[in-house]
Amino acid sequence: MRLRGSLRATAAIAVLMLLAACGASGPADSLTGAAAQGKLTIGIRYDQPGIGEKTLNGLYQGFDVDVAKYVATELGVDPANITWKEAEPADRETLLTSGKVDMVVAAYTINDKRKKLVDFAGPYFTVGQDLLVRLSDTSITGPQSLNGKKLCSVAGSTSAQQVKDKFAQQTQLVEYSRYSDCVTALLANIVDAVTTDDVILAGYAAQNPELLRVVGKPFTKDSYGIGLRKGDADGQRKVDAALQKMISTGAWRSALQSNVGSSGYQMPSPPAITEG
């Protein structure tokens, strides 16, 4: 009897230790569970100067990259142990739901449709939709000017369709897989304008200031969040805490200024963290 009682006690202790370990690091498929292994896979954009970009020499840079590094560090992961994965707009939910990435920091606008598939931490940035046009083109002064024009955006983004639905029903939509392809088409006179978030367009204009300009009349207000797998409440809370710390310590503003300031983009105030 004493032996059986001892075995039961040992088994109970083992169960308690296992539960405690899970509580500390989270399930293996959670963000905290992945972080407990000392590494993370994070989805970013590769083609957005100032926000998320993979350079020709293989470096990853931009405001989103700095946000991702800060959050990873707060989760106990050295930025050197981050695996970066390209997260194009059409693929972001699939990357999360399939477990191919642990989180997405990729100019990822929070909306109700996406929240049915994934969760968000944040928001960490507020933007407005705008238009990028050729410097010599004075005919486009806002979205209402796009009737009969060709408007470019990327597959998986809702920005161009919003223009067609709300402002210019006669605009012709053109889609590419990358915004950089849209910018190339704009420079080649294949399309008349590119639409997405103003901060992204500012980065492209800064790369070609003698050829391109942002119209400068944003017509939406949206928020970027960090995409997480659905139901990972603990991971969401910890990412929110990291974002709040980044804002309160001034690291958020410093990262934004160093990545976007040279474009002339007007620096916004940080948003309130509300998703967690």
pLDDT tens column, 51-90 = 999 999 999 999 999 999 999 999 999 999 999 999 998 8
Q: Are residues 137 and 207 in the same domain?
A: yes
Q: Are residues 120 and 185 in the same domain?
A: no
- CA 108 → CA 56, 226, 246, distances in Å? 24, 7, 18
pLDDT of residue 73: 98
Q: Are residues 114 and 169 in the same domain?
A: no
| pTM of the full structure | 0.82
pLDDT tens column, 235-273 = 999 999 999 999 999 999 999 999 998 888 888 899 999
Q: In this structure, is residue 191 part of a structural domain?
A: yes
Q: Assign residue 122 the CATH number of its domain.
A: 3.40.190.10
pLDDT of residue 276: 62
Residue 50 · residue 260 · CB < 8 Å: yes
pLDDT of residue 15: 38
Query: In the structure encoding, which two tokens stand for residue 204, read together?
Result: 């492209």
Q: Are residues 41 and 120 in the same domain?
A: yes
As to burial, measured by CB atoms within 10 angstroms (0-12 exposed, 13-18 middle, 19+ buried), residue 29 is exposed
Q: How far apart are the first and last CA of the chain?
A: 50
pLDDT of residue 156: 73
Phi-psi region of 8 (alpha: psi -120 to 50; beta: other; left: phi over 0): alpha
Dist CA 212 CA 194 (whole Å): 11
Full residue range of the structural domain in which residue 171 is found: 129-214
Amino acid identity of residue 98, one-letter, is: S
pLDDT of residue 26: 53
